[in-house]
Amino acid sequence: MIRLGVDAMGGDFAPGNVILGAIDALSCMDSETELVLIGDSRCITEVCRHYGVDSGNFVIVNASQKIEMGERPVEAYERKKDSSINIGFRSLAEGRLDAFASAGNTGAMLVGSVRTLGLLPGIIRPCISALVPLFNGQNMLILDVGLNTDARPEMLCQFAVLGSLYAKTVMGIARPRVALLNIGAEPGKGDSTTAGAYRMLEKGGGDFDFVGNMEANALFNGGMADVLVTEGFVGNICLKQTEGMYELIARLGVAHPFFKRFNYEYYGGTPVLGITAPVIIGHGVSTPVAIKNMILEAEKVVRCNLVSRLKDALAIENKGV
């Protein structure tokens, strides 16, 4: 049996959207999977009643506190020990959950990932990824999309390792091609972080093919790479600009099936890569559809054994160095 913990208080429209998304997710998963809603149990029961959802579908774990979206992550995580996010991480660390997913305060999710779960051996910083829809019908993984800023070159190299392992394990790509997001194609181009990462990656040695620099105008083309590595500040801006473009297209009333693939709702959430257990972060504005897909992503990550496969691969990697 798989037990997925879901932060019922996470996101701008919690717990309403979380409950609606969770009930939809249940209908898509096999009966072996149990959903554990963590939050204000009275509120959860009431909202279930309001929406005509049988709260008996879920295991409900009470949390007397909630970390708000705008709170300072470290402070809030340290102070609110009985918050849904804290309880989620503790339950995961103690083996009472197989994964924990939240559309709440991203910073607090990062703090919990690092402090309560811890990093995989050799990892400097964890990261998060996103899928970019490509013209050729496939998707490209881009990471880091915002968990770190001021990354160093060696961190970008680790993102390449983590991203290629995700591409193998979850996307089923036998030997991922990894590119660096840069402002020119030639080696030596770019800021010192990216140019430094290029020098390290071109030496090879990883279980992926480094294919060089990719410029942002090729972002949606497809064909060159399966995984695109960048620093978190840049990756987050890339992702948000894509989001802005999607919204603009919607406002202009322009229709094309391709644009639907830009809808963040279909991706729902992204696993934190580089930590010792499966944690999925959702978008703060999550709709029920997004929450459903965040939960399905959590289930997929557990079923793929992503974390233990990352751990094994890193052990080989670390041995090799």
Q: What backbone phi and psi angles, to 5 degrees, belong to 217?
A: -75, -15
What's the CA gap between 266 and 243, in Å, rounded?
Answer: 13
Q: What backbone phi and psi angles, to 5 degrees, belong to 181?
A: -75, 125
- Which residue, 93 or 246, has its beta carbon nearer to a second copy? 246
Contact 274, 120 (CB under 8 A): yes
Identify the DSSP state of 150: S
What's the CA gap between 35 and 133, in Å, rounded?
Answer: 29
Site of interaction with a second copy (CB under 8 A): 70, 135, 146, 149-150, 181, 183, 186, 190-192, 194, 215-221, 231-234, 236-245, 247-248, 251-252, 254, 256, 258
- Give kind and range of the element (H or E) at residue 308: helix 306-320
- Which residue, 118 or 284, has its beta carbon nearer to a second copy? 284
- Which residue, 59 or 237, has its beta carbon nearer to a second copy? 237
Contact 24, 288 (CB under 8 A): yes
State the minimum distance, in angstroms, from the CB of residue 59 to a second copy.
Answer: 34
State the minimum distance, in angstroms, from the CB of residue 149 to a second copy.
Answer: 4
Q: Length of the chain, please?
A: 321
- Which residue, 10 or 107, has its beta carbon nearer to a second copy? 107
- Which residue, 26 or 218, has its beta carbon nearer to a second copy? 218
State the minimum distance, in angstroms, from the CB of residue 150 to a second copy.
Answer: 5
State the minimum distance, in angstroms, from the CB of residue 183 to a second copy.
Answer: 4
Beta pairing partners, 291:
none
- Which residue, 52 or 70, has its beta carbon nearer to a second copy? 70
- Which residue, 70 or 172, has its beta carbon nearer to a second copy? 70
Contact 135, 100 (CB under 8 A): no
Nearby residues of 105 by Cβ (< 8 Å), 6 or more positions away: 10, 67, 68, 69, 71, 73, 76, 85
Cα 110 to chain center, whole Å? Answer: 11
Contact 57, 23 (CB under 8 A): yes
State the minimum distance, in angstroms, from the CB of residue 222 to a second copy.
Answer: 10
State the minimum distance, in angstroms, from the CB of residue 152 to a second copy.
Answer: 12
Contact 182, 190 (CB under 8 A): yes
- Which residue, 252 or 321, has its beta carbon nearer to a second copy? 252
State the minimum distance, in angstroms, from the CB of residue 131 to a second copy.
Answer: 16
State the minimum distance, in angstroms, from the CB of residue 67 to a second copy.
Answer: 15
Of 106, 115, 113, 118, give the one whose Cα is nearest residue 72: 106
